[in-house]
Structures are given as C-alpha cells and as structure tokens.
C-alpha cells in the first residue's frame, strides 16, 4: 500500500492543483508555507535513487520539472519559490513515493536548515 498511489488513483481525496498524463500536483495536507504543493509522478518510484535507476525515470523527471513550473504559475509564484525533495532516512522522507515539495508565497532565506 502506498499513500500517494492511492491519491493518484482517487482512492484517497486530495486538493488537486495540476494534473496531466504523467504527474499529479496537490496541496500538502500540513502546509509549511502559504503555498505548499506536492508534485508526484503517477508511476510509483520509491525515491530519487529508484527513479534514477528506472529506464522511465528520465521521462517522468522531465514531466515533474514542467509540472513544477506550471504549479508555480497557477499559484502566482512569479517572484520565486523553493523545490525540495527529501530522500531516504537521513533526508527525512516520510512517504516512500518520490515527491517534490513546491514551497512559496513568502520570502525564504538562503539557508535550507
Ligand atoms: P516527506 O517528509 O518529504 O516525505 O513529505 C511528505 C509530505 O506529505 C508531508 O509534507 C505531509 O504533510 C504530506 N502528506 C501526508 N499525507 C498527505 C495527504 N493525505 N495529502 C496531502 N499531503 C500529505
Ligand atoms: Zn506509490
């Protein structure tokens, strides 16, 4: 069972921001900023490493980048935003379906932590 696969399949509701054939973007349930959207490939990859070793990883990553840019436009982040991917235990990844946080709507500092 994968939470984000269930969201993609519509078994669990989400607040959709953008969708195309290969990716889904929805609002984070516990936002860390005025805008906090998760961009997820519709194919299940555990994390960035899994994506990198899959023959289709490149195609999905290209779609993820375009979706991030679309989300930024939809959410009015013309002044900028931050994209974060948490990978694995030390990266603080809690949902084991690769996803990219798009955070904005405030002035972030240059420090990540
Ligand atoms: P990460 O720590 O990078 O794995 O991020 C997982 C993110 O998923 C967290 O920011 C959670 O708030 C978010 N999240 C967990 N469950 C849901 C859900 N049902 N709908 C939307 N976002 C969720
Ligand atoms: Zn999944």
| Domains assigned to the chain | 3-104 (3.30.428.10)
Beta partners for residue 19, in sequence order: 24
Residue 99 is a catalytic residue: yes
Query: The pTM is what?
Result: 0.98
Place of tokens 């240059």: 110
Q: Please give the distance, rounded to the nearest whole angstrom, from the Cα atom of residue 112 to the centre of ligand 2.
A: 27
* Alpha helix (H) residue ranges in the chain: 3-8, 48-53, 57-74, 88-91
- Predicted local distance difference test score (pLDDT) of residue 5: 98
- Answer yes or no: is the C-beta of 89 below 6 A from any ligand 1 atom: no
pLDDT digit of tens for each residue in the chain (113 aa)?
Answer: 899 999 999 999 999 999 999 999 999 999 999 999 999 999 999 999 999 999 999 999 999 999 999 999 999 999 999 999 999 999 999 999 999 999 999 999 998 76
Single out the residue of 30, 1, 22 nearest to residue 14, CA to CA.
30
Residue 62 near residue 23, CB atoms below 8 Å: no
- Predicted local distance difference test score (pLDDT) of residue 113: 67
């Amino acid at each position: 069972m994968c939470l984000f696969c269930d969201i993609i399949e519509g078994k669990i509701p989400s607040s959709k921001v953008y969708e195309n054939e290969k990716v889904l973007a929805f609002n984070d349930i516990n936002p860390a900023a005025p805008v906090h959207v998760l961009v997820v490939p519709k194919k299940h990859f555990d994390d960035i490493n899994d994506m990198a070793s899959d023959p289709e990883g490149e195609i999905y990553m290209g779609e993820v980048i375009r979706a991030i840019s679309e989300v930024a436009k939809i959410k009015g982040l013309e002044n900028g935003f931050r994209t974060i991917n948490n990978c694995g235990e030390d990266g603080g990844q809690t949902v084991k379906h690769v996803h990219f946080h798009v955070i904005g709507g405030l002035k972030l500092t240059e420090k990540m932590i």
